[in-house]
Amino acid sequence: MNPLLIIMLILLVVSGLGLIIFILLHSGKGTGISDMIASSVYSTQTGTSIVEKNLDRITIIFAAVFLLSLIALMLVYPQGTIVK
């Protein structure tokens, strides 16, 4: 296998796993009855905290890296050109 292919595949897998992890770390933004009760009991502040903003930024970075590596793989290795 070509070293470029290996690097791009590793980048794709790592960014995909990071994207999954950071998406799951986001807090839910539900509007159901249970969320209304929980918000009144815990009296959470409205707005976005610094942690959530940083989590959003990291998620966007992982998404951009994933998208760019996927597009690069599609351009460099069109369908059927990777041989063993």
- Is residue 81 in some structural domain? no
If one counts the domains in the chain, the total is 1
pLDDT tens-digit map of 6-56:
899 999 999 999 999 998 888 766 655 555 555 555 555 555 578 888 888
- Is residue 46 in some structural domain? yes
- Is residue 14 in some structural domain? yes
Cβ atoms of residues 62 and 19 within 8 Å: yes
Q: Residue 25's pLDDT is what? A: 85
Query: Is pLDDT above 60 for 67?
Result: yes
Task: Indicate yes or no: pTM above 0.75.
Answer: no
Q: How far apart are CA 19 and CA 21, in angstroms?
A: 5
Q: How far apart are the first and last CA of the chain?
A: 7
Q: Which domain holds residue 8?
A: 3-76
Measured from the Cβ of residue 84, the count of other Cβ atoms closer than 10 Å reads: 3
Q: Residue 29's pLDDT is what? A: 66
- Is residue 10 in some structural domain? yes
- Is residue 83 in some structural domain? no
5 vs 67, higher pLDDT: 67
Q: How far apart are CA 57 and CA 52, in angstroms?
A: 9
Q: Residue 2's pLDDT is what? A: 84
- Is residue 58 in some structural domain? yes
- Is residue 82 in some structural domain? no
- Is residue 57 in some structural domain? yes
